[in-house]
Chains A and B, each alone.
Chain A
Amino acid sequence: MMKRTLLIAAAVLGLAAPAFAAGETPVPPIHKWSFAGPFGTFDRAQLQRGFKVYREVCASCHSLNYVAFRNLHQPGGPEFSEAQVRALAAEYKVQDGPNEAGDMFERPGRPADHFPAPFPNENAAASANGGKAPPDLSLMPKARTYERGFPWFITDVFRQYSENGADYVTALLNGYEEAPQGFNVPQGGHYNHYYPGHVIAMPKPLSDGQVEYPKNEAGQPQVPETVDQYARDVTAFLMWTAEPHLEARKRLGFQVILFLIVLSGLLYFTKKKVWARVGGEVEGHATPPMTHNP
């Protein structure tokens, strides 16, 4: 109920924002993520699809510097098999060296290698992309957010809304559209509904049917091959690259908090028993207002 109210409120805000304050960045829609909430886990199939989107679309311009091939196999991630990861790594050429002769050389990738970046350095990346280097994607959903505003920033604490970044990234990937009448998009820029200021250097990266998804028995893709689906899948994948231990964190958190609640209960009764020796605990002071609710 709370969630729905908030969704409606967010939707209203999203609609109201352009109407009341032209030029303000609209609020991204709030998605239902499998990794949200106290028991959230990643959807393995979604992470594997998201990785495919990254590999076939994003990777041509964006690096993934903090992620190693071996991470794709570790628990709590896409959990590709060890053989799959080894085969995947071998498809990449990785620079190594210097060898005994002092020369750098290229060899096939190994699971311990990190994803090779598409450009040798930031200047090369910038010059190949109209003057602006495409940012590394390893931390993207944690490195982006949007303004929640009062009172949502307080209610977020209680409903554990920390998927701001994921919602923003998905909205951005879905946010390419025709510039409204009278909006001047400068040379080399692209209009995006959700990008602050609306002018983004990245051209529309995704289009329907661009990435082929695994098929079910009937020969149909398991999920629709649409921009929206690609956007969600790649966002989920990037959420994992940003927070690879998210599942372990939430699992351990539940155990820790359960333990602490039990411990605090035991301590509470111990304390009561100890204080009973001096006639029980009496706190505070006598004042007129206090006598109503001692």
Chain B
Amino acid sequence: MSAHPTTYVPKSAFGKWFESRLPIAGLIHSSFIAFPVPRNLTYFWTFGAILVFMLAAQIVTGVFLAMYYTPNAGLAFQSVEHIMRDVNYGWLIRYLHANGASMFFVAVYVHIFRNFYYGSYKAPREVLYILGVIIFLLMMATAFMGYVLPWGQMSFWGATVITNLFSAIPVVGETIVSYLWGGYSVGNPTLNRFFSLHYLLPFMIAGVVILHIWALHVPGQNNPTGIPIKSGKDAVPFTPYATIKDVFAVVVFMIFFAYWVFYMPNYLGHADNYIPANPAVTPAHIVPEWYFLPFYAILRAIPDKLGGVIAMGAAIVIWCFMPWLDTSKVRSTAYRPLYKQFFWIFVIVCFLLGWLGSRPAEGWYVIASQICTVYYFAHFLIILPVLGFVERPLPLPNSILESVMGVQKGGAGIPAGANPEPHSKG
């Protein structure tokens, strides 16, 4: 934010007085009004705004839920039913919050894969990107603890399975688990501390989001060409151009969100979670929420408990090393014909892992999970580094503006003259 000296001049006398004491209006002006935005951004770049909206929506609905929810093992389930039945529009707030978690993850996965496709993680955006990975980890922790709060069967048994994973850590594992539980099994103290942390973590997410946006405003946004803004013609001011586009995208996303909330509110959850938690009865299949399934598949693919936990953790931590594992000089996959194919294979493998995570760990499901897990890591550890050396990227346009003109001409069926492309069929 500080990287762009502001041109903001307060108009009123009070504005001038205030600005000389706390230059927050100038900060907002330089960050969200005058900030130059590449003019060729697609709708994939609106997911940042969608995620900000989702975080705000989750916090607002969550604050209202917390006014009625009782974090006590004997009363939690009942208090959720009280919200669903007797609180005015309680059903709406709870369904918004429960489905909002899923929508948050839908948006974050689009955001993450957009970043993978267009090489947004590469220099000079490494810190921005790693902050994003941290936000994702905090989101996972928050979502997991939130799912425990209704204290249904899947809440209880999901909590039991996931907290037990920490016991695989040598020496200190058992101690960590008993601190997580607040006792010797999942029980009322676990629920109390999970509720406390579930309320705390979103505000930590909000803090890291501010850092994430700050780090974004230093190098500016990446764009579909992957080449930086070179002149004023390549960019438009954030307001009104990006703002109106973001607002439109958020409203379209709200339609998608509303469809789930009003018509399929329980589809993304588990029926078992409408059965009150019972430590004496184990559900037939303990399955995490859909957004954890690929990582759950990786966890179960490794026959060893500690190995599985390490693999699952590594599956996310490895993202942090992408800026250095990817040896290609070219950012955008649009100019990387070979990597484009591997990118889509990787997407398919992630979906496959998600589906395998929902299956029981038996028979060929396990073997398929193992193959996919190996491929998942090979993508980062072998394909990304090697491709940078063997791939011949397509020639890059000289500027964003030139690329944009190329699209227009391409649309008219005329090869882009200013943009020599040996492989062009157009």
Contacts and interface: CB of A to CB of B under 8 A. Distances in A.
Contact of B406 (A156, A196, A278, A286): A286
30 contacts: A38-B263, A135-B275, A142-B271, A156-B267, A157-B264, A248-B91, A249-B262, A250-B262, A253-B259, A253-B261, A253-B262, A257-B259, A264-B248, A264-B252, A264-B255, A268-B248, A270-B244, A278-B241, A281-B245, A283-B40, A284-B334, A284-B404, A285-B225, A285-B406, A286-B397, A286-B407, A286-B410, A286-B416, A286-B419, A294-B407
Interface string B256-282: 001101111111000110110000000
Given A143-B271, A250-B263, A288-B425, A274 B244 contact: yes
B19 interface: no
A267 B251 contact: yes
Interface of B: 39-43, 78, 81, 84-85, 91-92, 95, 223-225, 236, 240-241, 244-245, 247-248, 251-252, 254-255, 258-259, 261-267, 271-272, 274-275, 284, 332, 334-335, 355, 394, 397, 402-408, 410-411, 415-416, 419, 421, 423-426
A284 B42 contact: yes
Q: Specify which of A242, A253, A268, A285 lies most central, judged by the most chain B CB atoms within 10 Å of its CB.
A: A285
In terms of DSSP, what is the predominant structure of the interface of chain A?
Answer: helix
Given A267-B247, A288-B425, A282 B407 contact: yes
Contacts of A150: 355
Contacts of B85: 66, 71, 244-245
B410 A290 contact: yes
A131 B402 CA distance: 78
A261 interface: yes
Contacts of B41: 283
Given A270-B244, A278-B236, A260 B262 contact: no
B39 to A, nearest CB: 7
Contacts of A281: 245
A274 B236 CA distance: 11
Contacts of A196: 284
A256 B262 contact: yes
Interface of A: 38, 66, 71, 135, 138-139, 142-145, 150, 156-157, 160, 162, 164-165, 196, 242, 244-245, 248-250, 252-254, 256-257, 260-261, 263-264, 267-268, 270-271, 274-275, 278, 281-288, 290-292, 294
A291 B426 contact: yes
Contacts of A156: 267
Contacts of B425: 288, 291-292
B414 to A, nearest CB: 9
B375 to A, nearest CB: 21
Given A66-B81, A250-B262, A257-B262, A285 B244 contact: no
A85 to B, nearest CB: 16
A160 B224 CA distance: 36
Contacts of A242: 274
A162 B403 CA distance: 47
Given A66-B81, A283-B224, A271 B265 contact: no
Nearest to A74: B85
B338 to A, nearest CB: 14
Given A274-B240, A282-B39, A291 B407 contact: yes
B255 A260 contact: yes
A256 B247 CA distance: 17
Which of A252, A264, A271, A283 is packed against the most chain B CB atoms within 10 Å? Answer: A283
B40 to A, nearest CB: 6
Contacts of A292: 410, 425-426
Nearest to A248: B91
User: 4 nearest interchain CB pairs?
Assistant: A253-B262, A286-B406, A291-B410, A291-B426
B266 A162 contact: yes
B332 A261 contact: no
Given A256-B258, A285-B407, A275 B263 contact: no
A290 B334 contact: yes
Contacts of A263: 251
A161 to B, nearest CB: 9
Nearest to B255: A260
Given A257-B259, A285-B334, A291 B274 contact: no
Nearest to A282: B404
Nearest to B268: A157
A157 B267 contact: yes
Contacts of B241: 274-275, 278
B252 to A, nearest CB: 5
A250 B91 CA distance: 12
A138 B419 CA distance: 67
B274 A142 contact: yes
Contacts of B407: 282-286, 290-291, 294
B424 A291 contact: yes
Contacts of B262: 249-250, 252-254, 256-257
Nearest to B412: A294
B245 to A, nearest CB: 6
Contacts of B266: 142, 162
Nearest to A260: B255
B228 to A, nearest CB: 13
Contact of B224 (A145, A257, A261, A285): A285
A267 B248 contact: yes
A244 B90 CA distance: 12
B244 A253 contact: no
A69 to B, nearest CB: 13
Nearest to A255: B262
A248 B423 CA distance: 57
Contacts of A245: 84-85, 91
B170 to A, nearest CB: 38
A275 B425 CA distance: 30
Contacts of A256: 258, 262
A200 to B, nearest CB: 15
A245 to B, nearest CB: 5
